[in-house]
Amino acid sequence: MITATAPGKVILFGEHAVVYGRPALAAPVTQLRARAVVEMGDGPEVRLVAPDLGRATTLAAARADNALAATARLMEQRAGRPLPPGLSLSVSSAIPIASGLGSGAAIAVAVIRALGDCFQLELSREEVSALAYEIERLHHGTPSGIDNTVIAFEQPVYFVRQQPANRIETFRPARPLRLVIADTGVRSATKVVVGDVRRRWEAERDRFEAIFDACGRLAEAGRAALAAGDLAAVGRLMDENHAQLVEMTVSSADLDHLAGAARAAGALGAKLSGAGRGGNLIALVDESGEAAVCDGLMAAGAARLFRSDVG
Ligand code: MEV
């Protein structure tokens, strides 16, 4: 039996603008993980199982848009040979789906690692990330690559989408970040939101370019504040990034309500994280204020909370 896991992620600064070449910062959420298990059994088929979703199929029968099957086929191509009959690939995940926490990329990375072991491939984290990017393209259309990168690297990253190669710099904040992650309970498909931002950018190019520039400047300032250990500045910049995401129309009444509640309860800053229009909010807290922020978020209607430390 081979088991591999991969973490969820949050975007600290710069979602959406990162698709348009602006810098962004992301961090893994190591407590929330996707898991892939490969087992050998009998039978003529390669089986794909997702017990959490109540789904099971075979590789031969899987539809073209089945991401698990696409990942298995990608790994067969990479290895240059088919998966053996009787193999069973099972995936499960503690990361809420369609919630901005990188569940699709985390499942892809876990499966790539497990099947990489199965084929006895030596895969670098860069290669795991590049393979997961191919699957991200199925989920999202035009992904920036930040999700697969932060999840495959399992470290905070400064990321710029660019040619010929993305700029990827891992970092550690000078002082650890204490994050409360609040789920609106509303699912939102990244592909839809990213596509909608693209349509708006096409219709109002100058305005959206200016918003993306502002997000890029906030990501750079956030990076400097993290390097300086200035958590109050990090929080303020998160608030400003949320305001830019509101301008982009990717926030929602629920997200704005939770952001307001987190700030009122003493959070240093709060912003939506990921594609938006639902999914999760992140609030930066200090140790003494954490319980009050958690209470405030639950009272404001958060469906559930997660905790994550960065650095
Ligand atoms: C999703 O986690 C982040 C987005 O910027 C999309 C992307 O970068 O591919 C919304």
- Residues 87 and 161 occupy one common structural domain: yes
Mean pLDDT of the chain: 96
Final residue before a domain boundary, out of 150, 170, 190: 170
Residue 82 has pLDDT above 90, yes or no: yes
Q: What is the rounded average pLDDT of the residues 145-158?
A: 98
CA distance 306 to 282: 9
Which tens digit of pLDDT belongs to each residue from 164-197? Answer: 999 999 999 999 999 999 999 999 999 999 999 9
Q: Is 294 in the pocket of ligand 1 (CB under 6 A)?
A: no
Provide the pLDDT for residue 243: 98
Provide the pLDDT for residue 184: 98
Question: Which residue from 66, 20, 34, 33 is spatially nearest to 216, judged by alpha carbons?
Answer: 20
Q: Is 136 in the pocket of ligand 1 (CB under 6 A)?
A: no
pLDDT confidence bin for 285, thresholds 50/70/90? very high
Residue 139 has pLDDT above 80, yes or no: no
- Residues 36 and 165 occupy one common structural domain: yes
Final residue before a domain boundary, out of 121, 152, 170: 170
Residue 267's Cβ-count burial label (10 Å; 0-12, 13-18, 19+) is buried
Final residue before a domain boundary, out of 104, 136, 170: 170
Provide the pLDDT for residue 142: 86
CA distance 184 to 206: 31
Provide the pLDDT for residue 233: 98
Instruction: Using the atom order of ligand 1, give the atom closest to the CA of residue 15.
Output: 5
- Residues 155 and 197 occupy one common structural domain: no
| Domain CATH for 228 | 3.30.70.890
Residue 140 has pLDDT above 90, yes or no: no
Which tens digit of pLDDT belongs to each residue from 21-76? Answer: 999 999 999 999 999 999 999 999 999 999 888 889 999 999 988 999 999 999 99
186 and 279 Cβ atoms separated by less than 8 Å: yes
Domain count, the chain: 2
Q: Is 196 a catalytic residue?
A: no
Q: What is the rounded average pLDDT of the residues 149-161?
A: 98
Range of the domain at 295: 177-310
* Secondary structure (DSSP) of 208-255: HHHHHHHHHHHHHHHHHHHHHT-HHHHHHHHHHHHHHHHHTT---HHH
Residue 107 has pLDDT above 80, yes or no: yes
Cα 24 to ligand 1 centre (Å):
10
pLDDT confidence bin for 86, thresholds 50/70/90? very high
Contacts 24+ apart (CB under 8 A), 193-202: 193/250, 193/275, 193/276, 193/277, 194/16, 194/19, 194/140, 194/141, 194/142, 194/143, 194/275, 195/141, 196/249, 196/250, 197/16, 197/19, 197/248, 197/249, 197/250, 198/142, 200/248, 200/249, 201/20
